[in-house]
Structure 1
Amino acid sequence: MQLDNRAQTLLKALVERYISDGQPVGSRELSKISGLELSPATIRNVMSDLEDMGFVTSPHTSSGRIPTPRGYRVFVDQLLTVQDIDESVLESTLGARLQPSIITGSSQKIIANAAQVLSSLSQFAGVVMTARQESVFKQVEFLRLSEKRILLVVVAPNDEVHNRLLLTDVDYTPAQLVQAANYLNQHFGGQSFEQARMLINRELRELQGDMNRLMQAALQAGSEAIAENTEEVVISGERNLLNVSDLSSNMHSLRRMFDLFEQKSGLMQLLDVTSNASGVRIFIGGESQLVPMEEMSVVTAPYEVNGKIVGTLGVIGPTRMAYERVIPIVDITAKLLSNALNHSL
């Protein structure tokens, strides 16, 4: 729905003032801040039209008006002036926290730092979907614990060690376990468990059925062991949202918000969807269907490794957030995270 210039100017002024103050905006105030030479009566008529169209609402009969999620959407898509942030200053600040040479540990640490950066700069919650990676193993070993109980030891390429207990139908001898481990290491070491499973179906037909079952169970368990030690979504600063009056004043909203952070499934789906698009994306209120809260917005951007999108990061906050400041923070952090991960490989 197209708005004329007068309506756009008033809606822009109302949203900006409400984001700044958090108080309903009246017609007299709008006449002062909009720059339009209009009477309060004329402004009231325009605001009444905007309310009929669903862009603003009156929380109380005698008060001013506040934007609806639909009003925020028009503001973000058509009226927003993104803050001109000095990228070089921001990059020098963020670069120190995302520089791989300074960070000890794996890419998971860099990703955790990125979530903390987003949280500290926005003062809301920072969230990063970890880079998709295959469950690659460097080496496996089998240790017989007792009859039909085997400890699977998986060594990842970064030398992290993962253990998994296997309960088998057959009591394998130590010699059989050594034979199975040697076969897997010799033929599939350095590959993913998924690749090994596909190849093993074709190549192990000549082996005993029992040995085949052992190796299949080991590959499945090994893949799960590595996956369990990799957080799919890293969240930082969710408690910052307790300081946001729009959210903290509503106990029902608080419960739903922390359920969202605890379960993470909706966030995972949302971040996965946004990883298919380039650039910054903004979900206001319940638009995403995956974060169905009218009081919350999500600003996301994908990040890359070797030119390929591998994950998404973003900021979760109230609909009444300073979008003009949060958007460049998310955009630049995504670029710096891409650079840090490329240099950490």
Structure 2
Amino acid sequence: MPLEPRAQTLLKTLVERYIAEGQPVGSRVLSKLSKLDLSPATIRNIMADLEEMGFVASPHTSAGRIPTPRGFRVFVDTLLTVQPVSENSIESSLQLSTQVGQPQKIISNAAQMLSSLTQFAGVVLAPQHESAFSQIEFLRLSEKRILLVIVTPNGDVQNRLLLTEADYTPAQLNEAANYINRHYSGLSFNEIRLRLQNELREIHSDLTKLMQTAIEAGDETITGSTEDVVIAGENNLLNVHDFTYDLNSLRKLFAMFEQKTELMQLLDISSKASGIQIYIGGDSQLVPMDDMSVVTAPYQVNGKIVGTLGVIGPTRMAYQKIIPIVDITARLLSNALSHARSISDND
């Protein structure tokens, strides 16, 4: 049920005060800050109603109230007034334009800048690269030890050591490499894998196992050559009392950064949504800690969503400032990566 205007004003005032001070907010303070011409008794009655509806709670140690996760959700969804942020100031700080042609550096820069601007942790889910190649070579190192050399379409070179069951001659290795380059150059390893089953019967069976091994290893090498999640500023969260007051919370926090599984799941889901998404601990099952919130936005390359970026901080964060920073950074990252892609395609 929608809140009546006076209740909305008081809830908004309480959340903003709690974000700023981190302390329970009493009726007297609410009366002064909200500028509502209401008696203290009326304010107490409205706050009691808000508490009954689950939007605020009363800590045992204070007569004041704090917002619950549900109260924070109402605040960010319907009551928040976003503060304008200069896009030029973020762009000059981010310096994405100086990193043309270096997508991984651009992504790392974006995470660093989100952290710097918010004093929380910045995070970017990197694009999942198609594991395409332009050329491969096999180099015989010794008996049953082969070096697989992969050249990607943008000129990167990746190496992978293969341990084989058979001992292949240089002529056999050359034959296998020539076959793969002639038939599959420019395709992703995943596409090749789907075609190999029917096509490998055309060549000598002794090389079938080698080529299958090379395709699997090549896929793992290319897809594993970049970080899935780039995180910057984790140490900023050591200065946030909401996390550091409890050793168990701190352990949970850094376990999340180390394992990254829960974080990747949240970012992957948010990349399928449009625009800014706000995940509040205690309200969203995707956030592993009650005192944590994550503000995310998807970013694009040439109009196609390829990843997500965001800010990780306490539930008691200044959403009105964080949201435009995340939104603008996503747009700038999209522009920089699209520009880098066009430069690469024209080279």
User: Which category of TM-score, normalised to the shorter sequence, fits these structures?
Assistant: over 0.9
Question: What is the deviation of 1:105?
Answer: 5.7
CA distance in 2, matches of 1:70, 1:46: 17
| Counterpart residue number, 2:301 | 305
The amino acid that maps onto 1:173 is T
1:111 touches 1:128 (CA, 8 Å); kept in 2? yes
Distance, in Å, in 1 between the alignment partners of 2:205 and 2:40 is: 85
Structure 1 residue 261: Cα displacement:
0.7
The answer to whether 1:70 aligns with 2:70 is yes
Letter in 1 for 2:167: D
Alignment coverage as a number of residue pairs: 341
Residue in 2 aligned with 1:116? 112
CA 1:259 to 1:74, structure 2 compared with 1: closer, same or farther past 3 Å?
Answer: same
Amino acid at match of 2:4: D
Residues 21-170 of structure 1: pairs in structure 2 closer than 5 A:
21-94=21-94, 97-99=95-97, 102-103=98-99, 106-170=102-166
Per the alignment, in what secondary structure is the counterpart of residue 158 of structure 1? Answer: coil
Instruction: Give the CA RMSD over aligned residues.
Output: 1.5
Tell whether the 8 Å contact from 1:58 to 1:64 is kept in structure 2 after alignment: yes
1:7 and 1:270 map into 2 onto residues whose CA distance is 32
Describe the SS at the equivalent of 1:204: helix
Give, as a single letter, the amino acid of the residue that structure 2 aligns with 1:225: T
Give CA-to-partner distance per residue, 1:214-237, whole Å, 9 cap, x none: 111101101101122111110011
Instruction: Judge which range, 251-260 or 139-148, deviates more.
Output: 139-148
1:230 equivalenced with 2:229 (yes/no): no
Separation in structure 2 between the aligned mates of residue 155 and residue 60 of structure 1, nearest angstrom:
64
Conserved in 2, the CA contact under 8 Å of 1:82 and 1:327? yes
The TM-score with structure 1 as length reference comes to 0.95
Spell out, residue by residue over 1:118-162, the C-alpha distance to the aligned partner (whole angstroms, 9 max, x if none): 111111111101012201112211122222222212122333322
| Amino acid across the alignment from 1:151 | L
Q: Which 10-residue stretch deviates more, 56-65 or 77-86?
A: 56-65
Displacement of 1:104: 6.5
* Partner SS, residue 288 of structure 2: coil
1:324, CA displacement in angstroms? 0.5
Matches within 5 A, 1:196-345: 196-345=192-341
Cα drift, residue 190 of structure 1: 2.3
Name whichever of 242-251 and 200-209 sits farther off: 200-209
Q: Report SS of the residue matched to 1:337.
A: helix
Farther off after superposition, 164-173 or 20-29:
164-173
Query: Please, which moves more after superposition, 41-50 or 266-275?
Result: 41-50
Q: Distance in 2 between matches of 1:88 and 1:147?
A: 59
Letter in 2 for 1:53: M
Identity of aligned residues (%): 67
What residue ranges of structure 1 are gaps of 5+ in the alignment?
none
- 1:186 deviates by 2.2
Secondary structure of residue in 2 paired with 1:279: coil
More divergent stretch after superposition (190-199 vs 311-320) = 190-199
2:143–2:167 Cα contact (<8 Å) kept: yes
Checking the alignment, whether the CA contact within 8 Å between 1:132 and 1:310 is kept in structure 2 is yes
Match of 1:186 in 2: 182
Q: Is the 8 A contact 1:270 1:288 kept in 2?
A: no
Equivalent residues of 1:260, 1:291 under 8 A apart: no
Structure 2 distance, partners of 1:54, 1:288, is: 16
CA deviations over 1:245-284 (Å, ceiling 9, x no partner): 1111111111111111111111111111111111101011
Partner of 2:345: none
Larger CA deviation: 113-122 vs 191-200: 191-200
**Cα distance in structure 2, aligned partners of 1:216 and 1:301:** 39
CA contact under 8 A between 2:299 and 2:334: conserved in structure 1?
A: yes
Give per-residue Cα distances to partners, 1:162-189, cap 9 Å, x unaligned: 2222222211111101111122122222
Q: From the superposition, tell whether residues 52 and 107 of structure 1 become closer, same or farther in structure 2 (CA, over 3 Å).
A: same
Q: Take 2:294 and 2:62, find their aligned partners in 1: how far apart are those partners?
A: 32
One-letter code of the match for 1:69? Answer: P
Structure 2 CA distance for aligned equivalents of residues 168 and 159 of structure 1: 27
Paired residue secondary structure (1:235): strand
155-164 vs 3-12, which moves further = 155-164
Q: Secondary structure at the match of 2:221?
A: helix
Which amino acid letter does the alignment assign opposite residue 173 of structure 2? L
TM-score, scaled relative to structure 2: 0.94
